[in-house]
Amino acid sequence: MGLTISEIRDNTLRARHLMQRSRQQHFAVGAFNIDNQETLIGIARAAQKLNAPVLVEVSDGEVKALGLDNLRDLVDNYKREYGIEMYINLDHSPTVEDCKKAIDAGYEFIHIDISQANHDATEEEIIAKTKEVVEYAKFTGALVESEPHYFGGSSNVHTEGIDYEEIKKTFSTPESAKAFVEATGIDTFAAAVGNLHGKYPVPKEIDLELLQRIRDAIPCQISLHGGSGTPAHFFEDAAKIGVSKVNINSDMRYAFRTTIEEELKQHPDEFAVVKLMDKVKDAIQAVVEDKIAGFGSAGKAVV
């Protein structure tokens, strides 16, 4: 069932209050990708157990697989069932049109990422299309996130190491962040400071000194994409600096894949796969609980 405009605006106002609380109380909110119901249940259980606010997020491929409105309904259903503070974020959306559809559907958080579809997009093009989404979002109050260039990596499990000398070429700077925020009017800036999409065989390293300088340069919220495979102490320090949102995907995908593989191996004659999902949901929940602890968001929900 669709939400009324009044319900949507109430939700987005609560979402804005959450972001304000995160800054004031120095915690970050976990934004967890889903591409199936079992993952959503694991997230909801973790949020309920730890009384933590959470964002459920979906990328373009996940929207195509599950449906924009279906996802809105699923999140609302589990939010009510578990009595939790939970919102939905459109993650790395490549077009203005898709962002507008999600805003109309009542998504509280919108990430417009023009460079996702076109790595060679100019900053002028990115700014113009981001501004269009910002203006459109004013009708519902949805929070808009963006960045001025392509963000590296992919949400998968990688076998290669991390070439930080190459990655540093794509780092945000305080000057470029400030200029982009002022030009677009976004609510959240997606910073690149050593965070990288995907799970790698070596731990990721966040440049906290650079993150602090970016925090000092811009007034809006800051998000960190590519949070998987990052030691918890970086999250703790990032939250103290003033990061409000951290995206997690690959760590959950790894837990899902490895757990279901083990369950299938142990139950070769079971073809009702739904009967094998309890441990999968437990594995997802454990990952989310671990992230919530690192983000400092346990006990921060307002229902």
Q: Which two tokens stand for residue 274?
A: 């739904």
Which is the catalytic residue, given 69, 76, 91, 251? 91
Has 251 been annotated as catalytic?
Answer: no
Q: For residue 253, how many other CB atoms are within 10 A of its CB?
A: 21
C-beta contacts of 116-123 below 8 A and 24+ residues apart: 116/60, 116/92, 116/150, 118/94, 119/150, 121/150, 123/148, 123/149, 123/180
Q: How far is CA 274 from CA 37, 56, 78, 279, in A?
A: 11, 22, 18, 11
Q: Where are the beta strands (DSSP E) in 150-236?
A: 153-157, 188-191, 197-199, 221-224
Measured at the CA of 100, the angle between CA 97 and CA 101, to 5 degrees, comes to 90
**DSSP H or E run through 263:** helix 250-266
37 within 8 A of 71, measured Cβ to Cβ: no
Question: Beta strands 221-224 and 54-58: pairing type?
Answer: unpaired
Quick one: which of 96, 170, 103 has its CA closest to 127? 96
- Catalytic residue positions, numbered: 91
